[in-house]
Amino acid sequence: MKVKKFVAPSMNEAMKMVRAELGRDAVILHSKVVQTGGFFGLFAKKKIEVLAGVDPDPLPLRQPDAAASFAPLPAAEREEDGSLAREIEEVKALIRQFNARSSSLLYPPPLAEAERRLVRQGMADVYVRQVMDRLLERWYADKDGRSPAAVSAWTKEAVRDLLSTLPFVKTAEQKKYMILLGPTGVGKTTTLAKMAGRAVLEQGKKVGFITADTYRIAAIDQLKTYADILHAPLEVCYNADDFRTAKRKLAGCDLVFVDTAGRNFRNPQYVDELQQTLEFDSETETFLVFAATGKYDDMKTIYNHFSRLPIDRLIVTKLDETDSFGTIVNVLLDSRLAAAYFTNGQNVPDDMVEASADRLVHLLFGAERW
Ligand SMILES: Nc1nc2c(ncn2[C@@H]2O[C@H](COP(=O)(O)OP(=O)(O)OP(=O)(O)O)[C@@H](O)[C@H]2O)c(=O)[nH]1
Ligand SMILES: [Mg+2]
């Protein structure tokens, strides 16, 4: 492969230089912003440095820059080496050489549109690629079925298949102690009240509450209000001994809901404190709560800190406050955990539904969005 470095004031100009010098078959191997000129860091100009290459003996693929580049090889050629699969692998390899932005230029228009939608929803590049690989396979395998509607259906199916690898289960409360953890203000206490309310109203269970949230003055009162409505006992715990005592006192309950303080869990020290106060054993089910409105990068940090605790499932709140649901997909797939519930409002106990792969797909590609 002939490789050359280009430096230009913008990506656009760099691409023109690449095309002029290496031709239309050139591929971008790497690009970065560089500072040029200046004295001691002053007056330096930002430029784009692009490393591009061209294969003197290219693959037998036609690859001009738009949709036509993905026209399948003639049947005779394809059958000669009997390898539709190889053809697809070649196309995938070609696309992987490009970064996410430039690759969409190469997809046929319906697939490029599908990619744009996934990116707009906030799905991480790694998962967008997995879906796009599936779509490319379908595109080549089902030549007669290609249409924007079909691509839309394939996209939903591909995302659903990705999510179906997670252990979604129907019944939520499988253990006696339900512990909700998560950052400040995501809706832990409200969701706990929703879960307890349903257990009482729909299943006739005898429930109790423990709160380990002694950090905020009003936190105990907030939970006490819900406990009173449900005629359920509430125990407050400040340390590990209190927690054990509270469990003994609530031994007669079918289900015990444990509330915890929201802290800045970007600081791992707070996770250690929780570990010292609570007991995580075979009788506990632990839920990490996060809001759909949160930033993916922050959630990744928080999840990493929490992953030293035995988190069983996730709960995603505030779905009513956003139109982008890709972050939920990312966090679920990164953590390999299923979500138990999605909540979509402040009403207790109504604004909560059981989470499932289908529901998430519907949120991402609801009829109005696709
Ligand atoms: N829009 C919307 N608001 C919600 C949802 N769930 C909870 N809230 C609201 O979010 C706010 C915070 O809820 P809490 O339940 O107190 O949150 P928390 O995680 O317990 O907060 P801390 O204990 O302070 O960390 C309240 O105003 C809730 O009514 C939801 O699904 N949608
Ligand atoms: Mg709370």
Tokens, residue 5: 């470095």
Measured in angstroms, how far is the CA atom of residue 52 from the centroid of ligand 1?
Answer: 50
pLDDT in the model for residue 171:
63
pLDDT in the model for residue 186:
96
Separation between Cα atoms, residue 185 and residue 218, nearest integer Å: 13
Which H or E run includes 48? strand 45-54
* Sheet order of strands, 27-36 included: 2-8, 45-54, 27-36
* 3-state secondary structure (DSSP) of residue 27: strand
Pocket, ligand 1, Cβ cutoff 6 A: 184-190, 213, 216, 219, 262, 317-318, 320-321, 343-346, 351
Long-range contacts of 233-239 (CB under 8 A, 24+ apart): 233/208, 233/209, 234/208, 234/209, 234/210, 235/208, 235/209, 235/210, 235/211, 236/210, 236/211, 237/210, 237/211, 237/212, 237/277, 238/212, 238/214, 238/277, 239/276, 239/277
- β-pairing verdict for 339-343 and 313-317: parallel
Measured in angstroms, how far is the CA atom of residue 325 from the centroid of ligand 1?
Answer: 18
pLDDT in the model for residue 36:
72
Provide the whole-model pTM.
0.74
End-to-end CA distance of the chain: 41
Q: Which ligand is nearest to the CA of 315?
A: 1
Measured in angstroms, how far is the CA atom of residue 187 from the centroid of ligand 1?
Answer: 3
In contact, 68 and 37? CB cutoff 8 Å = no
pLDDT in the model for residue 61:
38
The CB density around residue 241, as the number of other CB atoms within 10 Å, is 10
Return the CA Rg of the chain.
Answer: 27
Separation between Cα atoms, residue 330 and residue 163, nearest integer Å: 10
* Sheet order of strands, 177-181 included: 234-236, 207-211, 255-259, 177-181, 284-291, 313-317, 339-343, 352-354
Tokens, residue 367: 């009829």
Measured in angstroms, how far is the CA atom of residue 142 from the centroid of ligand 1?
Answer: 47
DSSP string, 227-271: HHHTT--EEE-SSHHHHHHHHHHTTT-SEEEEE---B-TTSHHHH
Nearest C-alpha to atom 26 of ligand 1 is from which residue? Answer: 187
**CATH number for the segment(s) 177-369:** 3.40.50.300
In contact, 242 and 250? CB cutoff 8 Å = no
pLDDT in the model for residue 250:
98
Tokens, residue 126: 């790694």
Each of the 370 residues of the chain gets a pLDDT tens digit; together they read 778 888 888 777 888 888 888 887 777 666 777 777 655 545 567 788 887 877 766 544 334 343 333 333 444 444 455 666 766 666 666 666 555 555 455 788 899 999 999 999 999 999 999 999 999 999 988 888 888 899 999 999 999 999 999 999 876 567 999 999 999 999 999 999 999 999 999 999 999 999 999 888 789 999 999 999 999 999 999 999 999 999 999 999 999 999 999 988 888 888 889 999 999 999 999 999 999 999 999 999 999 999 999 999 999 999 999 999 999 999 999 999 999 999 999 999 999 999 999 999 999 987 544 4
